[in-house]
Amino acid sequence: MKTNETIATLISGFRNPSIGIRHKAVKELATYGECAIAPMITVLQEDKDSNMWWYAAATLARIGEPAIIPLLRSMNTHHEVGFRKYAAAALGEIGAPAVEPIIEAMASDDRELRGFLSLALCRIGKPAIIPLTQHLESSNEIKKSCAALTLWQMGENGIVGLVENVKNNETKK
């Protein structure tokens, strides 16, 4: 079978009543790497079944770093809340490699997008704290504000980063 046909067949496995088959489809699709990214994003954008979104997001998370930029580009142009929610979840699961690209994407004028990106960083957790703290000094007011708000949303760990930044700025004076 051709790659596109195989990917389509595996995607149809997301609808199988057997959870084992659904999980196997995720694992196999992830092995296709970059070839599977666009079809997974299409599932997130076009399918109306949140179960399909979950499995597509899980596949993108398993693909990892190659999915980061395509996900961010799609989030920038596709405004449907369900899509952005699951795309942000995938980015959050990718983890540390997604931190800087997410922070860069926060410069967007799209407030809703920035909120989803912040949630992705909160999901990433500790690996995002130092980069976010560094962006508290950004000349870009949107990124600076987003960094502060995201650190605040992260709870105790993020607030420690905020407090340390304030202390360091006071020491510099």
Q: Residues with Cβ < 8 Å from 38, sequence gap 6 or more?
A: 70
Q: How far apart are CA 169 and CA 128, in angstroms?
A: 20
> Which domains occur in the chain, in start order?
95-173 (1.25.10)
DSSP 92-130: HHH-GGGHHHHHHHTTSS-HHHHHHHHHHHHHH-HHHHH
Would you state the pLDDT for residue 137?
A: 86
pLDDT above 70 for 45:
yes
The model carries a pTM of 0.89
Over residues 63-69, mean pLDDT: 98
**113-169, pLDDT tens digit by residue?**
999 999 999 999 999 999 999 998 889 999 999 999 999 888 766 666 556 655 565
